[in-house]
Amino acid sequence: MLRVEGLAAWYGEATVLRDVALTVAPGEVVTLVGRNGAGKSTLLRCLMGLHAGQRGTVTFDGRDLGPLPAHRRARLGLGWVPDDRGAYASLTVTENLTLPPAVGPDPWSLERVYESFPVLHERRDSAATQLSGGEQQMLALARVLRMGARLLLCDEPTEGLSPLLVARVGDIIRQVRDQGTAVLLVEQNLRFATGVADRHHLLAEGRVVETLRNEEVREREGELLTYLGI
Amino acid sequence: MSSFLQHTFDGLVSGAFLALLALGLAVIFGMLRVVNFAHGAFYMLGAVGTYLLLTEFGVPFWWALLIVPVVLGALGMGVERAFVHRLARLDPLYNFLLTFGLTLVLQDLVKLRYGTQSSPYATPSALDATVDFGLFDFPAYRVFVLAFAVVACVAVWWLLGHTRVGMVVRAATEHPELSRALGIDVGRWVTPVFGFGIALAGVAGVLAAPMRAVNPLMGADLVIVVFAVVVIGGLGSIFGSVAAGFGIGLVQAWGESYLDRWPIVAQTSVFVIMAVVLLWRPAGLFGREEAPA
């Protein structure tokens, strides 16, 4: 579904990604693990077409994304859940959800979104930035589901959430995965990562240095945590 | 008491012009991050256009109120496509300089053709009367200007707050990059929004023709005050620019009436208020601090 080859990215003189290669298949959850500053968020921004300084090949369903601007990529089915959660202060919760066009074959209806996220229904007329951090995270996820995105690019969706909400995010990711949606997840929480994902890419020095399965992550948890500096 | 009410009404009427102009500037700044220095020149073109429609083609005021904003809006869209758009990726200063240059060009073109002398424009006959408010009389045309500006501001506010187009503009104003990543073709909205802001300046120009001296420089002084208004209200804040427009209109009218022995105080009061507001609330009275990128 998603294929990345030889992706390099830079800010001015500073190279962040050198040669990244990875794939994500439909219904697969893949994580990107790495230290702060390893370029995980930059990688997602590259895929979304938001980062100017990049080179390499990105294909989605066999289609070269290279020349496409961000809004065209979104319309092909890429759903970005940014690390700052991207809530619009000048839009209500409902407007935040209905802003993006429905793009996929199976976009969620507003009713379905509100059924799955009752708290958003309760706060539907509030300005989105008045929600708590966890609620804003739900909103960011719900928004790309309502679009019907087929590949979610989630940037640390569990950061700063209570354990209860982390579990809720995990449920949602497993649920959409089972319906064939693919997820590329930036995640520092290894327990959470092994609970939802199939494969884990360790990003260091601008490339994927290792790809681990869940068992390997669990066996090497201590070593990985030390490496990640957590 | 009646003179106070009279001054207040005068202030609201001049505030109406400031509000219409500030609203256009705010809409343009929000969407494009361009400080459109040429806004005053487009206001002037609105007034001059109204004058020319009557003197050259016999087109009356009411038709001008429809034709001039549409034509200026189209001209604004052309300017955005031809010039502003090309500088969008560069430092915002480039577009500021561009619109400053455009101001000089437009002013001098009008000067070249019609000179700098002010031309009188008769009040539309339907409004050439006074309205009796009990305590004081007021020219009907000014009442119309105030009512028209209020309706226009409310209409824009409604458009932004309650339509799909308005929602997209709000989203693109607040988080342009995120909006693109959510499938919104932000670029497609930039040109019409610029044109719309210019059309609002055109409306203000048409309304000004029967009330103010029509000449090539009529926008040059006003635009400086409008910038102060937009800064006070909060750059990009729709409500803030309208509220500050009316507020500054009042302050100026009161100042000119009650501080007439100290004209310097009355004239500079806007900028003093701006400085105080900036020290107290750097984002303006109703502005939001921009989130760090």
Task: Say how far residue B273 (Cα) sits from the centre of its chain.
Answer: 19
Strands (E), chain A: 2-11, 14-24, 29-33, 54-60, 63-64, 78-81, 151-155, 182-186, 199-204, 207-213
> Is A103's Cβ below 8 Å from some Cβ in B?
yes
Predicted confidence at residue A9, as pLDDT, reads: 93
Instruction: Please name the member of A84, A89, A100 whose beta carbon is closest to the beta carbon of B182.
Output: A100
Predicted confidence at residue A230, as pLDDT, reads: 65
**Cα separation, A85 vs B219, whole angstroms:** 43
Residue A154: left if φ>0, alpha if ψ -120 to 50, beta else—which one? beta
> Is B293's Cβ below 8 Å from some Cβ in A?
no
Tokens 């900036």 belong to which residue? B278
Please indicate whether, in this complex, the C-beta atoms of A71 and B185 are within 8 angstroms of each other: yes
> Is B134's Cβ below 8 Å from some Cβ in A?
no
List CB contacts (< 8 A) between B185 and chain A. Answer: 71
Task: Please check whether residue B32 is in contact with residue B194, taking contact to mean a CB–CB distance below 8 angstroms.
Answer: yes
**Is residue B292's pLDDT more than 50?**
no
**Which value does ipTM take for this structure?**
0.91
Please indicate whether, in this complex, the C-beta atoms of B181 and A82 are within 8 angstroms of each other: yes
Please indicate whether, in this complex, the C-beta atoms of A71 and B181 are within 8 angstroms of each other: yes
Residue B271's contacts (CB-CB under 8 Å, 6 or more residues apart) are B228
Task: Please check whether residue B69 is in contact with residue B227, taking contact to mean a CB–CB distance below 8 angstroms.
Answer: no
**Cα separation, B144 vs B105, whole angstroms:** 32
B201 to chain A, minimum CA–CA distance in Å?
Answer: 25
Cβ contacts below 8 Å, chain A against chain B, sum to 62
Least confident of A138-142, B39-43, B147-151, B280-284: B280-284
CA dihedral B150, B153, B159, B161 (to 10 degrees): -100
Mutation pick from B167, B174, B178 vs chain A, by most beta carbons of A within 10 Å, is B178
**Is residue B189's pLDDT more than 50?**
yes
Q: To 5 degrees, how large is the angle CA B4–CA B9–CA B13?
A: 145
Predicted confidence at residue B260, as pLDDT, reads: 78
A106 to chain B, minimum CA–CA distance in Å?
Answer: 16
Task: Please check whether residue B26 is in contact with residue B233, taking contact to mean a CB–CB distance below 8 angstroms.
Answer: yes
Predicted confidence at residue B290, as pLDDT, reads: 58
Q: What is the number of other CB atoms lying within 10 angstroms of the CB of residue B187?
A: 14
A91 to chain B, minimum CA–CA distance in Å?
Answer: 7
pLDDT tens per residue across span B198-238: 999 999 999 999 999 899 999 998 999 999 999 999 987 88
Task: Say how far residue A133 (Cα) sits from the centre of its chain.
Answer: 17
Task: Please check whether residue A201 is in contact with residue A33, taking contact to mean a CB–CB distance below 8 angstroms.
Answer: yes
Predicted confidence at residue B289, as pLDDT, reads: 65
**Cα separation, A211 vs B145, whole angstroms:** 69
What CATH code is carried by the domain that includes residue A158? 3.40.50.300
Listed as ranges, residues in chain A with pLDDT below 50 are none
**Cα separation, A74 vs B103, whole angstroms:** 39
Task: Please check whether residue B26 is in contact with residue B156, taking contact to mean a CB–CB distance below 8 angstroms.
Answer: no
What residue segments make up the domains of chain B, in order of their start? 16-217
Residue in chain A nearest B175 by alpha carbon: A88
List CB contacts (< 8 A) between B184 and chain A. Answer: 71, 99-101
Which of residues 185 through 204 in chain B touch A, CB cutoff 8 A? 185-186
pLDDT tens per residue across span B72-126: 999 999 999 999 999 988 888 999 999 999 999 999 999 998 888 888 898 988 8
List CB contacts (< 8 A) between B179 and chain A. Answer: 99
> Is B237's Cβ below 8 Å from some Cβ in A?
no
Residue in chain B nearest A146 by alpha carbon: B182
Please indicate whether, in this complex, the C-beta atoms of B182 and A88 are within 8 angstroms of each other: no
**Cα separation, A91 vs B166, whole angstroms:** 10
List CB contacts (< 8 A) between B291 and chain A. Answer: 84
Please indicate whether, in this complex, the C-beta atoms of B184 and A89 are within 8 angstroms of each other: no
Residue-by-residue DSSP string for chain B: -HHHHHHHHHHHHHHHHHHHHHHHHHHHHHHH----TTHHHHHHHHHHHHHHHHHHH---HHHHHHHHHHHHHHHHHHHIIIIIHHHTTS-HHHHHHHHHHHHHHHHHHHHHHH-S--B--PPPGGG-SEEE-SS-EEEHHHHHHHHHHHHHHHHHHHHHHHSHHHHHHHHHHH-HHHHHHTT--HHHHHHHHHHHHHHHHHHHHHHHTTTS-B-TTHHHHHHHHHHHHHHHH-TT-HHHHHHHHHHHHHHHHHHHHHSTT-HHHHHHHHHHHHHHHHHH-TT-SSPPPPPP-
pLDDT tens per residue across span A52-106: 899 999 999 999 998 899 999 999 999 999 999 999 999 999 999 999 999 988 8
B229 to chain A, minimum CA–CA distance in Å?
Answer: 21
Instruction: Please name the member of A89, A95, A100 whose beta carbon is closest to the beta carbon of B183.
Output: A100
B46 to chain A, minimum CA–CA distance in Å?
Answer: 32
* Both structure tokens of A112: 């379905």
Number of domains composing chain A: 1
Residue in chain A nearest B237 by alpha carbon: A90
* Both structure tokens of A194: 């092994």
Q: Model pTM?
A: 0.87
Rg (CA), chain B: 19
Q: Give percent above pLDDT 70 in chain B.
A: 98
B179 to chain A, minimum CA–CA distance in Å?
Answer: 8
B174 to chain A, minimum CA–CA distance in Å?
Answer: 7
Q: Report in angstroms the alpha-carbon separations of B291 from A178, B174, B241.
A: 36, 9, 20
Report the SS3 class of residue A97.
Answer: helix
Q: Range of A69's domain?
A: 2-228
Instruction: Please name the member of B183, B288, B291 whose beta carbon is closest to the beta carbon of A75.
Output: B183
- How many residues does this entry show for chain A? 230
> Is A11's Cβ below 8 Å from some Cβ in B?
no
> Is B171's Cβ below 8 Å from some Cβ in A?
yes
